[in-house]
Amino acid sequence: MPSQLSIKEKFPLAPLTTLGIGGAARFFVKATSEEELIAAMEFAEQHGLPVFILGGGSNVLVSDEGFSGLVVLIAIKGIERSETVTVGAGENWDGFVRQCVERNLAGVECLSGIPGFVGGTPVQNVGAYGQEVSETIIKVRAFDRQTKQIVELSNRECGFSYRTSIFNSTERDRYVVLAVTYALKPDGAPALRYPDVKNYFAGRSDQPALGEVRQAVIEIRSRKGMVIVANDPDCRSAGSFFKNPILSTEAFANLEARAEERPPSFPVANGTVKIPAAWLIEHAGFQRGYSKGRAGISSKHTLALINRGGATANEVLALVVEIQQQVAEKFGVQLMPEPIFVGFNS
């Protein structure tokens, strides 16, 4: 075991996740620097251990058995500013957004109130209210587990598309994100693209300041239970549990034929359309506030599956499967979970 690393055994993971669910990690280490991260990966390799990289724990479901390998918590901090801003992967995302808004840097204001760490944002190309991180990311610094080198990937090399990048698709598990560089616009205009945000400022003739847009987004998200509130089980979730499905023309025609009313749809690319997963779930018969054991659906947002208190991962899983089956039976659409499942087959 490298002497500079403090590797813990049987370390409880539930407190490190927003759902508050799951067993322990067989080994656990907090990497506060690139050197510690590399040493942790060497430790895992020497002992033949699978590795799970943990950030803010806001998009994971940990199994009740825990993870039988090494969990590395990315705690690399630091915010460096020049013409661009380079941020350590272990910085809290919303804290970074707040700082940008305070300095009047535009480009991430609609991404206010999102839980998790900076390092997670390029992985799923985090987006909300018409803004996504791929618009501002210049490069991603990462440890390449294949070549054991630290590399810098350009925006293009990250292969961003809707909630997707190489990090969660073609190159899944290959890179550990260490830092992300964003190009933000000094004194830029806020993005007022989505109805929720536009409506908030309806009747205003002047352009709202970035700080006002941040407050608006946090308020809208809070109403939807999408801001973590300590001790409120209705918000104890992993954010949206299902991805909004993107359907081909044929699949959408099939859905339209099965639905009693026209489903909402938003054009994406090449004739495909994006369907709100929440609409499918509600029209398949689930209501907000629905409960199954100690798991349930938030009373504020259909996409937020919650831990109502003491829920196990298996209870959440049973709810996930029930929702998927009912949506598939009614509409022929397979809903895909958004969180990462940890330790379910190890």
- Which residues of this protein are in contact with ligand NAP, per CB under 6 A? 124, 126-129, 163, 194-196, 224, 239-240, 244, 266, 274, 276, 278, 303, 338
Decide if 109 is catalytic. no
| Closest distance of CB 33 from ligand NAP, Å | 28
DSSP character string of 174-187: TEEEEEEEE--EET
Q: At what angle do helices 210-223 and 93-102 cross, to 10 degrees?
A: 150
Decide if 91 is catalytic. no
**For residue 21, what are the contacts with CB-CB under 8 A and spacing of at least 6?**
14, 61, 62, 64, 307, 311, 312, 313, 316
| Closest distance of CB 8 from ligand NAP, Å | 30
Q: Which is nearer to ligand NAP, 27 or 298 (CB)?
A: 298
Q: What angle do CA 174, 175, 177 make, to 5 degrees?
A: 160
Contact 62, 11 (CB under 8 A): no
Minimal CB distance to ligand NAP: which residue?
128
Burial-class residue 9 by CB neighbours within 10 Å (0-12, 13-18, 19+): exposed
Decide if 240 is catalytic. yes
Q: Which is nearer to ligand NAP, 141 or 224 (CB)?
A: 224
Catalytic one of 214, 240, 298, 315: 240
Q: Which is nearer to ligand NAP, 78 or 266 (CB)?
A: 266
Catalytic one of 163, 174, 294, 308: 163
| Closest distance of CB 298 from ligand NAP, Å | 11
Residues in the chain: 346
Q: In what order do the strands lie in the sheet with 8-12?
A: 8-12, 24-31, 67-74, 51-54
Q: Which is nearer to ligand NAP, 194 or 341 (CB)?
A: 194
| Closest distance of CB 212 from ligand NAP, Å | 18
* Catalytic annotation, residues: 163, 240, 338
